[in-house]
């Protein structure tokens, strides 16, 4: 088996006795573009929080052979687990280049921090190309369009050399065109990495997911390919069955404004 | 290329500022001012040195330090202890100890007989105390208003501690009546002028160091931590260490300023290190513009200058004026006076293009402001209060 994979077994997170994540087990392999879906409150974002060390959890989350649970946030990040957030969180006062440079720098020695940046590091140059922001490198990140901010965030994970990308609703609030571009970007970068996407957008999921895990009330409800999951009666009942037809659901997802959606 | 050109231009502006500052401090001021005024100006420069550190930690690092008097006092008392011992002669005991105490020198005074240990102590003791405090505070993710209150409480506690120690550290009167400074007679006007030059050069050197720091990757990182601390954590950095560096540097600068203050002013007492003194340090920085290089210095000098001028003519009027100025700046010019030019320029551009740019986050003042409500919607800010 490939060493680069994310393996969760029996992960639990509880807030004051309420089990937000209730014994989740799943395995994501390198090259997989795994979508994590589920109704609001299913525990999707909390699961990502648990893997990245933001909330205390029990159980086991292994990247290769390394246990992640119990480690500090910045240690986990250095091990190659990167994540984005529902609202793009780039450093608005700094330029695109500075954002990427900072992301690339966590492995640098403390003394190199005292120098000025004299040239653009190769991996930063490459990533600017990959995420399509080469022409905007000296732009302040705060002035970027919403979609561009999300791409910059993904770019920051790439220069950080993250092996696992955990993306929390990367296409929320994006135009159809931006969604398609984001999907292509994820396919490109996902081949060499392990990617988990938390998403509400069903069209986006159908277009780009290679596998899907459905969470409901903190538990894994169903797992498989898009077709398998859609055919699963349990999923239809708790998720798709809620709104009368799938079409209506897609329409709701498309209309949703960013920020309203919660994990 | 355009980026390089604008960078060069930016550098030229700063270098011009340095040249003008050096001329004003080292040539114009000594030529124009009487000995008394020059020594007064030297005292303002000590405040300006503290302001440079606060600008680094607050303006760039987002740590609202309301208790810089602690580190100012540590540096100042270390220097004062040495001067007292030097005046008392080898194996002598400072005068106040015979008056109020047993006439025995406490053991912890002994190291400060040595000039070398004193100079090291001036920098290292505030740095080490800041390191210990900062490590504990930042690890527990205490920030925003909670950090500000904590730092202010420390200043209050430090002043009370000093007041209680009459026999060993002079109590409420503090330490005063110094006659010499490393062998130089402090009553000699030439030596007083020399002290002014030392303070002025120290200020310029520290400004150069801070400027270099602002342009380094560390400077970018510090701004990133100020604006999005959680995000930086997820990039694999420990924000606690990044903030700690700025906090310790600010403390070291305050310590140096305190040490220069002692021979220039001739006294250090709990009144110079307490809450009121600490807040006065901060007001200059806020008024001048905390996130800029020269703003804190100019603000500190202006506030101290205004305080002296106004309280000479209207002794009871100053605190009202200071309060009003602070309120006005925070309400109408959150980036401080140094953002005035920027604001006017953007408005001129705005008139031409028909819109006015909103102030950028750096220009917002966060006096006791808690961190942005929720920087990342996925992040639950744990233990805002440090649990």
Identify which of B284, B319, B283 has the alpha carbon closest to the alpha carbon of residue B300: B284
- Tokens (6 digits) for B1: 């290329």
Local confidence band at B355 (pLDDT 50, 70, 90 cut-offs): very low
- Tokens (6 digits) for B363: 């220009």
Inter-residue contact A50 to A21 (CB < 8 Å): yes
**Farthest-apart Cα atoms in chain A, separation:** 60
Chain A closest CA to B365's CA: distance in Å? Answer: 15
Does residue B244 belong to the interface with chain A, where contact is any CB pair within 8 Å? Answer: no
**Where is pLDDT greater, at A232 or B363?**
A232
What pLDDT does residue A242 have?
A: 52
Q: Do A74 and B236 touch (CB under 8 A)?
A: yes
**For residue B318, with 0-12 CB atoms within 10 Å meaning exposed, 13-18 middle and 19 or more buried, which class applies?**
middle
- Set of chain B residues whose Cβ sits within 8 Å of the Cβ of A103: 235
CB environment A89-125: b (16+ within 10 A), e (fewer): bbbbbbbbbbbbbbbbbbeeeeeebeeebeeebebbb
Inter-residue contact B49 to B260 (CB < 8 Å): yes
Q: Do B235 and A73 touch (CB under 8 A)?
A: no
**pLDDT (tens digit per residue) in A137-172:** 999 999 999 889 999 999 999 998 899 999 999 998
Residue B9, pLDDT above cutoff 90 = no
- Set of chain A residues whose Cβ sits within 8 Å of the Cβ of B378: 45, 48-49, 54, 85-86, 168, 263
For A105, the closest of B217, B360, B362 (CB atoms) is: B217
For the residues B371-385, what does the mean pLDDT come to?
38
User: Of the given ranges (A109-113, B123-127, B139-143, B378-382), which has the lowest mean pLDDT?
Assistant: B378-382
What pLDDT does residue A239 have?
A: 65
Residue A85, pLDDT above cutoff 50 = yes
User: Of the given ranges (A82-91, B47-56, B145-154), which has the lowest mean pLDDT?
Assistant: A82-91
Please name the residue that has the structure tokens 């390394």.
A66
**Where is pLDDT greater, at A249 or A212?**
A212
- Tokens (6 digits) for A70: 């119990």
What pLDDT does residue A168 have?
A: 92
The CA distance from A121 to A251, in Å, is: 43
What share of chain A has pLDDT > 70, as a percent? Answer: 89
- Set of chain A residues whose Cβ sits within 8 Å of the Cβ of B221: 102, 105, 113
The CA distance from B353 to B333, in Å, is: 23
Q: Alpha helices of chain B — where are they, by DSSP H? A: 2-23, 29-32, 35-54, 69-88, 95-100, 115-139, 145-164, 166-169, 189-215, 217-227, 229-234, 239-265, 275-288, 295-313, 318-332, 339-353
**Cα B153–B154–B155 angle (5° rounding)?**
90
What pLDDT does residue B363 have?
A: 42
- Set of chain B residues whose Cβ sits within 8 Å of the Cβ of A156: 235
**Mean pLDDT of all residues in chain B?**
85
What share of chain B has pLDDT > 90, as a percent? Answer: 58
What pLDDT does residue A240 have?
A: 55
Residue A103, pLDDT above cutoff 50 = yes
Residue A110, pLDDT above cutoff 80 = no
Residue B259 has, within 13 A of its CA and on its CB side, a CA count of: 27
- Tokens (6 digits) for A101: 């440079």
The CA distance from A253 to A41, in Å, is: 16
The CA distance from B303 to B271, in Å, is: 18
For the residues A243-249, what does the mean pLDDT come to?
52
Chain A closest CA to B235's CA: distance in Å? Answer: 6
Chain A closest CA to B224's CA: distance in Å? Answer: 6
What pLDDT does residue B343 have?
A: 74
What pLDDT does residue A7 have?
A: 93
Does residue A170 belong to the interface with chain B, where contact is any CB pair within 8 Å? Answer: no
Which of A89, A90, A197 should be substituted to probe chain B, the one whose Cβ sees the most B Cβ atoms within 10 Å?
A: A89
What pLDDT does residue B299 have?
A: 92
**Where is pLDDT greater, at A85 or A106?**
A85
Beta strands in A113-157 (DSSP E): none
The distance from CA A246 to its chain's CA centroid, rounded to whole angstroms, is 24
Identify which of B327, B326, B247, B339 has the alpha carbon closest to the alpha carbon of residue B293: B339
What pLDDT does residue A255 have?
A: 62
Chain B closest CA to A228's CA: distance in Å? Answer: 30
For A102, the closest of B3, B215, B235 (CB atoms) is: B235
Q: Do A89 and B237 touch (CB under 8 A)?
A: no
Which of B237, B378, B381 should be substituted to probe chain A, the one whose Cβ sees the most A Cβ atoms within 10 Å?
A: B378
For B47, residues 6+ apart whose C-beta sits below 8 A from its C-beta are B257, B280, B281, B284, B300, B301, B304
Q: Do B217 and A78 touch (CB under 8 A)?
A: no
What pLDDT does residue B63 have?
A: 94
Residue B292, pLDDT above cutoff 80 = yes
Q: Which B positions 2-31 lie with beta carbon below 8 A of chain A?
A: 2-3
- Set of chain B residues whose Cβ sits within 8 Å of the Cβ of A108: 217
Identify which of A138, A104, A95, A154 has the alpha carbon closest to the alpha carbon of residue A124: A104
**Mean pLDDT of all residues in chain A?**
86
What pLDDT does residue B5 have?
A: 52
- Set of chain B residues whose Cβ sits within 8 Å of the Cβ of A101: 217, 220
Per DSSP bridges, beta strands A5-15 and A58-63 are antiparallel
Centre a 10 Å sphere on the Cβ of residue B160 and count the other Cβ atoms it contains.
11
**Where is pLDDT greater, at A228 or B103?**
A228
The CA distance from A216 to A42, in Å, is: 5
Chain B closest CA to A95's CA: distance in Å? Answer: 10
- Residue A215, classed as helix, strand or coil, is strand
**pLDDT (tens digit per residue) in A179-197:** 999 999 999 998 889 999 9
The most confident of A203-207, A217-221, B137-141, B195-199, by mean pLDDT: B195-199
């Amino acid at each position: 088996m490939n060493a680069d994979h994310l393996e969760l077994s029996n992960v639990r997170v509880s807030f004051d006795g309420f089990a937000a994540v209730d014994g989740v087990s799943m395995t994501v392999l390198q090259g997989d573009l795994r979508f994590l879906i589920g109704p609001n409150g299913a525990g999707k974002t909390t699961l990502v929080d648990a893997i990245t060390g933001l909330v205390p959890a029990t159980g086991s989350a292994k990247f290769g052979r390394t246990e992640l649970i119990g480690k500090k946030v910045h240690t986990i990040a250095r091990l190659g687990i990167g994540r984005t957030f529902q609202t793009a969180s780039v450093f608005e006062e700094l330029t695109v280049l500075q954002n990427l440079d900072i992301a690339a720098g966590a492995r640098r020695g403390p003394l190199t921090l005292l120098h000025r940046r004299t040239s653009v590091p190769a991996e930063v140059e490459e990533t600017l190309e990959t995420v399509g922001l080469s022409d905007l490198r000296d732009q302040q990140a705060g002035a970027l369009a919403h979609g561009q901010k999300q791409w910059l965030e993904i770019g920051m994970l790439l220069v950080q050399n993250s092996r696992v990308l955990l993306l929390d609703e990367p296409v929320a609030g994006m135009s159809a065109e931006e969604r398609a571009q984001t999907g292509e970007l994820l396919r490109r970068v996902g081949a060499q990495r392990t990617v988990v996407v938390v998403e509400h957008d069903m069209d986006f999921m159908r277009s780009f997911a290679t596998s899907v895990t459905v969470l409901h009330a903190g538990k894994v409800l169903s797992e498989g390919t898009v077709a398998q999951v859609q055919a699963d009666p349990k999923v239809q009942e708790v998720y798709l069955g809620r709104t009368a037809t799938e079409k209506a659901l897609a329409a709701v997802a498309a209309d949703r404004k960013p920020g309203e959606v919660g994990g | 290329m355009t980026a390089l050109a604008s960078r060069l231009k930016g550098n030229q502006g700063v270098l011009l500022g340095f040249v003008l500052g050096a001329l004003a401090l080292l040539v114009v001021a000594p030529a124009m001012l009487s000995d008394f005024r020059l020594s007064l100006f030297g005292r303002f420069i000590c405040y300006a040195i503290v302001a440079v550190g606060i600008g680094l930690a607050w303006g760039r690092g987002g740590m609202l330090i309301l208790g810089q008097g602690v580190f100012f006092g540590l540096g100042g008392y270390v220097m004062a202890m040495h001067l007292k011992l030097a005046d008392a002669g080898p194996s002598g005991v400072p005068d106040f100890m015979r008056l109020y105490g047993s006439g025995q020198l406490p053991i912890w005074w002994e190291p400060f007989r040595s000039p070398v240990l004193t100079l090291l102590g001036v920098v290292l003791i505030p740095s080490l105390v800041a390191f210990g405090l900062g490590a504990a505070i930042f690890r527990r993710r205490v920030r925003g208003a909670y950090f500000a209150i904590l730092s202010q409480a420390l200043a209050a506690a430090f002043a009370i501690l000093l007041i209680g120690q009459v026999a060993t550290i002079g109590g409420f009167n503090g330490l005063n009546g110094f006659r010499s400074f490393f062998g130089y007679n402090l009553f000699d006007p030439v030596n007083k002028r020399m002290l002014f030059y030392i303070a002025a050069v120290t200020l310029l050197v520290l400004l150069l160091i801070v400027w270099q720091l602002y342009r380094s990757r560390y400077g970018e990182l510090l701004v990133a931590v100020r604006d999005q601390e959680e995000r930086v954590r997820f990039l694999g950095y420990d924000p606690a260490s990044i903030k700690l560096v700025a906090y310790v540097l600010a403390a070291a600068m305050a310590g140096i300023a305190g040490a220069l203050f002692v021979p220039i002013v001739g006294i250090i007492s709990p009144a110079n290190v307490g809450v009121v003194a600490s807040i006065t340090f901060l007001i200059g920085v806020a008024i001048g513009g905390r996130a800029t290089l020269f703003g804190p210095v100019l603000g500190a000098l202006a506030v101290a200058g205004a305080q002296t001028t106004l309280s000479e003519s209207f002794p009871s009027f100053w605190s009202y004026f200071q309060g009003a100025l602070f309120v006005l700046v925070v309400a109408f010019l959150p980036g401080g006076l140094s953002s005035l030019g920027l604001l006017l320029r953007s408005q001129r551009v705005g008139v031409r293009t028909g819109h006015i740019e909103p102030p950028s986050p750096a220009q917002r003042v966060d006096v006791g402001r808690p961190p942005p409500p929720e920087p990342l919607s996925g992040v639950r800010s744990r233990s805002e209060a440090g649990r």
